[in-house]
Structure 1
Amino acid sequence: MGKLTCLQTLQYFEVGIEQGRRLVELGRLENLRGELTIRGLQLVGNKEEAQTTYLQEKPNIYRMAYLWSHDEPEGCETNDKHVKIPLLGQLKFLRHLELVGFHKVECIGTTFYAIDGNNKGNIQVFPSLKELVLEDMPSLIEWKGVELIPTTNGGRDEVIGVRMFPGLEKLRITKCPLLKSTPNQFEILRELIIEGVDSGVPLLNLCSNLTSLVKLYLSDVKELTCLPDEILHNNVSLQFLSVSDCGEFREFPQSLYNLHSLKSLEISFCTNFSSFPVPSGENYWTSLQSLQLFVVMN
């Protein structure tokens, strides 16, 4: 595969142990662009091999999925201990990124953003990214952000501002039960989906500075008891709100009635949900088209 040095389109690459299917082959394909899905990352032999793709040097890739399988046939050796999140933050055309099945990763650190400290101006990471998916990462506890980085200019110590995900519109976090910490630098995020995350803290972190949400879907957030008031108060353009399978969820804050753009509200299988707050006026939910309540009583 690596001999096809003029190859520009490669939608799928299945990592194997035989010649021609090692991860190093991707490193030789300098002209790759468009969409790329890499499957079978569990077969990567060591950390050095994992670094041979040089994806940060392929800026014309705009959609990427990293898939880690845990269903290898008996006798096939896997290498979980070498798993690290790739350095992708400077892929300037990347619009869609999925990280799936990284079972051993506990932290997405600042190296994920591939920031060059020699840059003299403000830095953007994932400048074109529109959609990000984190899925099936049961050991993930911390997802770090970065706002400032130290640098030296003419012998003087300085700091450079970092804009993270300036164009991200959709974020989906699924089956990351231990996740506790996330970035909060999302400027125009419109759709947020959180499923299978035990703590309610990531929701609060993600939304602490948000004012742009249009769709919010929460499912199986085990410790969530109430939606934080500031989320609804700050995101008055919210149109779709769904809370499902959250066993401890009990109530909404009064700010629920500030959502004059709300078109759809769904509460399903939240067995401890008791009631809506008493509205303080008459002109609320004037845009509501769908209200669904399913099995919400004990």
Structure 2
Amino acid sequence: MHDLINDLAKVVSGEFSFTLVGNYSSKISGRVRHLSYATTDYDALDKFEGIDKAQVLRTFLPLSHRRSSRVDSKVQHDLLPTFMRLRVLSLAPYQNVVQLHDSIGRLKHLRYLDLTATPLKKLPEFVCSLYNLQTLLLDSCMCLVELPNSIGNLKNLLFLRLHWTAIQSLPESIVNLSNLHTLVLSECKNLTELPTNMGKLTKLERLTDFFVGKQGGSGIEELGKLKNLQGELRIWNLQNVFLSQDGETAKLLDKQRVKELELSWAGDTEDSQHERRVLEKLKPHKDVKRLSIIGFGGTRFPDWMGSSSFTKIVFLKLKGCKYCASLPPLGQLVSLKELRLEAFDLIDVVCPELFGNGDSKIRILSFEDMKEWREWNSDGVTFPLLQLLQIRRCPELRGALPGHLPALEELCIDRCPLLMTSLPRAPTIRQMELFDTSRSVQQTKYESGMLSLMVQKFHSQNSPLQGIEHIGVSTTLGKIEVHCCDSLKLFQPKSFPNLEIVENCYIYLLFC
């Protein structure tokens, strides 16, 4: 059926669409409207010989998975200006397009311009005279530092993507893009604030990142005017919210279609109570599915964090909340599947109240950079669905992990020198990673076939696996990696009684 549909599409498109394979452009019809072609390392002008016959060409679209393609400069200078009816133009794969030729500014019918991953440093002003332009793609233009001041002239622009650019600021005129539907600013590391009056973009449905201005830029109240936002939203620089009641003006509680929300503070706080009040006012809609709170400077989380009304949250990340001495009770988040806790400086005990009593539905659980964490008390809590457990850089953690993890598939313990007294019973374990430890695994039995085992920076004459009985009844271990360990004694034959085949074995900087 797929082949029949494909054949039908070719018949319907007929002579109006042409895909250039190799150098057969001489076969092109003068009636062709849509041209696509496979790029090579270097696309010379003669590759397109005869294409100038297609005076009604609407689409010029290179197709490539290459990252280092180059194009003859004459394609920009001489060929493209002949297609005055062009609607769709892409120069996306070309790594030598460091600037656009003035002739591009004469393509007045252009609707779609894709410059993704080109090394442009500056978008020329003449692009802003392309009044019919609806889509402008600049993703991964890592050298691009600014947009033209007149970009607000593009009244018909619907989609503007600036993901992973070096943009330092946006022109004030951007708020005049009254029809803008999508503005992607993710991974713009140099951007710290947005122009004033961003709330004028009332048709905006997708805004990935909002930067709260300190004095001159957009205040958080501008978010409240953007009533149609949906999808993902990251709010940066919340330390610039000077009045706690201003947090309520963002109207996050009304943004039902925002499903992924990240709230982020930067720098040290001077008033932890103020930050808590701000977060209290930033309560999201109950339909949010993914929530991250980064750099929060309060001493405790607001009450809404553990509210049973958030029945759809599946992902929660709390990071860099270094003044919090307690974690919020999350047992009422009935849909929570992934929990990540990072960089809590004052937490010394993880209590059962974090997960609630009974069976937790969490599938992925990660702890990182918990400097003072000493004890994990899991009394009364079970993790029947937990598949991935990561504990990284928790130097004071000791004692035992939860005793039975029946669904666990992957376990990573990284730089937790006091923890390795016992590991959980995990009949479905497939991958184990032990990094930078000096203690051995004790009294642990694995009954399933493990596919991957990695041991790195083990500093002891004993094996880290000496207490493990029967790593797998399987006769095959997919991969063993040993990095920077003091002795080959870490692998004792009794730990692998059935092992016949190791498919991949890597040993790096072993000090025998």
Aligned with residue 317 of structure 2, among 65, 72, 77: 65
Aligned with residue 363 of structure 2, among 109, 126, 130: 130
**3-state SS, counterpart of residue 502 of structure 2:** coil
**Is 2:311 the partner of 1:95?**
no
Check whether the contact 1:245–1:269 (CA below 8 A) recurs between aligned residues: yes
Change beyond 3 A, Cα 1:111–1:276: closer
Alignment of 1:13-162 (within 5 A): 13-15=263-265, 22-27=278-283, 29-41=284-296, 43-44=297-298, 46-47=299-300, 50-57=301-308, 58-68=310-320, 80=323, 82-115=324-357, 123-125=358-360, 127=361, 129-147=362-380
Q: Which residue of 1 aligns with 2:403?
A: 184
Q: Which residue of 2 aligns with 1:289?
A: 503
Aligned with residue 386 of structure 2, among 156, 168, 177: 168
Q: Which residue of 1 aligns with 2:483?
A: 268
Change beyond 3 A, Cα 1:87–1:257: closer
Aligned with residue 235 of structure 1, among 447, 451, 462: 447
Structure 1 unmatched ranges of 5 or more: 71-79, 116-122, 148-161
Q: Deviations over 1:37-91 (max 9, x none)?
A: 11112x21x43xx233333321211111101166xxxxxxxxx2x4311211331
Change beyond 3 A, Cα 1:227–1:296: farther
Q: Deviations over 1:85-135 (max 9, x none)?
A: 1211331211211100001110001221234xxxxxxx322x2x2111100
Q: State the AA in 2 paired with 1:61.
A: I
Q: Which residue of 2 aligns with 1:219?
A: 435
Q: Deviations over 1:218-261 (max 9, x none)?
A: 0012x22x444x53x42332111111011125335474585524
Q: State the AA in 2 paired with 1:165.
A: F
Q: Which residue of 2 aligns with 1:210?
A: 426
**Counterparts of 2:264 and 2:343, CA distance in 1:** 15
**Counterparts of 2:275 and 2:506, CA distance in 1:** 55
**Counterparts of 1:146 and 1:38, CA distance in 2:** 27
**Counterparts of 2:285 and 2:265, CA distance in 1:** 18
Q: State the AA in 1 paired with 2:364.
A: E
TM-score normalised to the size of structure 1? Answer: 0.74
**Counterparts of 2:455 and 2:504, CA distance in 1:** 14
Return the structure number with greater helix share: 2
Change beyond 3 A, Cα 1:284–1:268: same
**Counterparts of 2:472 and 2:402, CA distance in 1:** 28
**3-state SS, counterpart of residue 167 of structure 1:** coil
**3-state SS, counterpart of residue 242 of structure 1:** strand
**Counterparts of 2:493 and 2:346, CA distance in 1:** 46
Shift of 1:166: 1.8
- Please, which moves more after superposition, 82-91 or 174-183? 82-91
**3-state SS, counterpart of residue 201 of structure 1:** coil
Check whether the contact 1:15–1:40 (CA below 8 A) recurs between aligned residues: yes
Shift of 1:211: 1.5
Check whether the contact 2:487–2:511 (CA below 8 A) recurs between aligned residues: yes
**Counterparts of 2:383 and 2:505, CA distance in 1:** 33
**Counterparts of 1:134 and 1:280, CA distance in 2:** 28
Check whether the contact 1:264–1:291 (CA below 8 A) recurs between aligned residues: yes
Change beyond 3 A, Cα 1:244–1:145: same
TM-score normalised to the size of structure 2? Answer: 0.45
**Counterparts of 1:142 and 1:286, CA distance in 2:** 39
Q: What CA RMSD, in Å, does the superposition of the two structures yield over aligned residues?
A: 2.9
Instruction: Give me the identity figure in percent.
Output: 20
Q: Which residue of 2 aligns with 1:151?
A: none
**Is 2:252 the partner of 1:4?**
yes
**Counterparts of 2:302 and 2:502, CA distance in 1:** 50
Change beyond 3 A, Cα 1:257–1:62: closer
**Counterparts of 2:410 and 2:333, CA distance in 1:** 22
Structure 2 unmatched ranges of 5 or more: 1-246
